[in-house]
Amino acid sequence: AQSVTQPDIHITVSEGASLELRCNYSYGATPYLFWYVQSPGQGLQLLLKYFSGDTLVQGIKGFEAEFKRSQSSFNLRKPSVHWSDAAEYFCAVGLYNTDKLIFGTGTRLQVFP
Amino acid sequence: DTAVSQTPKYLVTQMGNDKSIKCEQNLGHDTMYWYKQDSKKFLKIMFSYNNKELIINETVPNRFSPKSPDKAHLNLHINSLELGDSAVYFCASSQDLLGIYRGLGYEQYFGPGTRLTVT
């Protein structure tokens, strides 16, 4: 069955430090991969997506993600975290033969000054 | 202008009541969705509609009935509310149902959510 795993439930970083949020997926076909961010009390905002082509994807707010097929991973990175990046981050896989998004359980990011 | 809006933002009600949540999108999208986010933040799709036609209907109790009067609106009606229905419900829309089929990369745009509390 298709699934998305975000191994880190909670991550704490200092402002200005680099960040990497992990995402692994299990899906037999070509994956369509997304990262969404949810600020407290808000809806989800798309950070970036991978459908095909270059495996390093640039997104909004200075985020990037790299698709590694051999590792079934789509990790999210940012070189320097800002306090406003504190939020919940969700990785999701789109299923090729449906219109469904399967979400991971999320990683809560805390940023200390 | 808000792209995907939901009303109400908060809904507190008692067990056994019937309630509705409304969703509207002004993006001109053809497809709309309802998701449920539980207390552990897990997001799961409930329904999707494409041009007013039901496409995805996950394993959801039939107390939940989506209604799409037009492609810009998708409402969720819940009968006989139970404690376990307490959650945040998100509406979303995307340009085209077949976006992923065609590899065109249509992402889903989410509303701000409705926090439903059943007491």
Interface probe, candidates B29, B41, B49, chain A, greatest A C-beta count within 10 A: B41
Compute the distance between CA of residue A98 and CA of residue A34 in angstroms, rounded to an integer.
Answer: 15
What six digits make up the tokens of B65? 């009935």
Per-residue model confidence (pLDDT) at position B105: 61
Tell me which residue of A8, A7, A9, A5 sits closest to A25, measured CA to CA. A5
Identify the band that residue B102 occupies on the pLDDT scale cut at 50, 70 and 90: low
Residues 8-27 of B with CB under 8 A from A: none
Query: What six digits make up the tokens of A78?
Result: 């940012």
CA neighbours closer than 13 Å in the CB half-sphere of residue A65: 29
How far is C-alpha A2 from the geometric centre of its chain's CA atoms? 17
Torsion region of B6: left, alpha or beta (phi above 0 gives left; psi -120 to 50 gives alpha): beta
pLDDT bin (cut points 50, 70, 90) of residue B52 is: confident
Most B CBs within 10 Å, among A44, A89, A93, to test the B interface? A44
User: Measured between beta carbons, which residues in chain A are less than 8 angstroms from residue B112?
Assistant: 41-43
| Phi-psi group of A33: left, alpha or beta (phi > 0 → left; psi -120 to 50 → alpha; rest → beta) | beta
By the 8 A CB rule, do A35 and A76 touch?
Answer: yes
Q: Which two tokens stand for residue A84?
A: 């406003």
pLDDT tens per residue across span A16-70: 999 999 999 998 777 889 999 999 888 899 999 998 888 999 999 999 999 999 9
- Determine the distance from the C-alpha atom of residue B12 to the mean position of all C-alpha atoms in its chain, rounded to a whole number: 18
Mean pLDDT, rounded, of chain B: 89
Which of B42, B90, B97 shows the shortest C-beta gap to A43?
Answer: B90
CA-nearest residue to A104 within chain B is: B42
Q: Which pLDDT tens digit goes with each residue over A70-102?
A: 999 999 999 999 999 999 999 999 877 677 788
Q: CB distance B56–A46 less than 8 Å?
A: no
Chain A residues closer than 8 Å to B105 by CB: 32, 49, 51
Work out the pLDDT band at A2, boundaries 50, 70, 90.
confident
Q: Closest approach of chain B CAs to the CA of A43, in angstroms?
A: 4
B59 touches chain A (CB under 8 A): no
How high is the pLDDT of residue B6? 96
B103 and chain A in contact, CB less than 8 A: yes
Which residues have CB under 8 Å from A34's CB, separation 6+? A46, A48, A49, A50, A91, A92, A93, A94, A101, B107
The reply to whether residue B43 touches residue A51, judged by beta carbons under 8 angstroms, is no
Residue B61 pLDDT > 80, yes or no?
yes
Whether residues B105 and A96 touch (CB distance < 8 A) is answered with no
pLDDT of B97 strictly over 90: no
pLDDT computed for residue B100 by the predictor: 56
Q: Is A69 within 8 Å of A98 (Cβ atoms)?
A: no
